[in-house]
């Protein structure tokens, strides 16, 4: 981890305060604005199973290509760098959003739409098979 969890918790509060203040000042309605902390769903059984399914469908080549703009390209990359783009795409699916806000440490990962489309198709394929098998059992 790049930062201790305690620091991340403080950053979450700070970002929420700043963004709400900015939106109120310009004035943008915030009545439908909803902040979600990743750990509230990323630690669930369903999220982890979907992550395993995603990992089983994405090749090393595709993971490196998807993370090319975000992850430092070295001869022997850490596994976390290969998983990162897929996890971001999975987050977007779980949040049902098209926008992510992150700290300065994540600034280069925000515009990566090609990564999402690559991993999203694998995720949708796996998710629909899971849904079909679940429905057929009931």
Which DSSP string corresponds to the chain?
Answer: --S-HHHHHHHHHHHHHHHHHHHHHTT---TT-----THHHHTSHHHHHHHHHHHHHS-HHHHHHHTTTTS---SS--HHHHHHHHHHHHHHHHHT-S-----GGGGGGTT-HHHHHHHHHHHHHHHHHHHHHHHHH-
Regarding whether 18 and 72 lie in a shared domain, the answer is: no
d(CA 128, CA 76) in angstroms, rounded, equals: 34
Structural domain boundaries, residue 54: 37-137
Residue owning tokens 């925000």: 110
Residue 106's pLDDT is 52
Residue 116's CATH number: 3.40.50.620
Regarding whether 69 and 96 lie in a shared domain, the answer is: yes
Residue 36's pLDDT is 86
Residue 102's pLDDT is 59
> pTM (2 decimals)?
0.63
Name the token pair of 52: 């395993």
Residue 1's pLDDT is 65
Residue owning tokens 């779980």: 94
pLDDT tens track, the chain, 138 positions: 678 889 988 999 999 999 999 999 999 999 888 888 888 999 999 999 999 999 999 998 888 888 777 667 777 878 888 888 889 889 989 998 866 665 555 544 443 443 444 344 444 444 444 433 333 333
Are the CB atoms for 113 and 44 separated by under 8 Å? no
Regarding whether 108 and 60 lie in a shared domain, the answer is: yes
Regarding whether 43 and 3 lie in a shared domain, the answer is: no
Residue 137's pLDDT is 36
Regarding whether 89 and 126 lie in a shared domain, the answer is: yes
């Amino acid at each position: 981890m790049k930062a201790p969890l305690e620091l991340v918790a403080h950053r979450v509060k700070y970002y929420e305060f700043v963004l709400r203040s900015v939106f109120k000042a310009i004035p943008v309605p915030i009545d439908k604005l909803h902040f979600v902390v990743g750990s509230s769903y990323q630690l669930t059984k369903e999220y982890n199973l979907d992550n395993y399914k995603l990992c089983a469908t994405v090749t090393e080549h595709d993971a490196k290509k998807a993370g090319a703009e975000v992850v430092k390209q070295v001869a022997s990359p850490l596994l976390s760098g290969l998983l990162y783009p897929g996890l971001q795409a999975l987050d977007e699916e779980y949040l049902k959003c098209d926008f992510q806000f992150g700290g300065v440490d994540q600034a280069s990962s925000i515009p990566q739409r090609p990564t999402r489309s690559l991993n999203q198709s694998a995720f949708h394929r796996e998710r629909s098979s899971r849904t079909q098998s679940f429905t057929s059992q009931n």
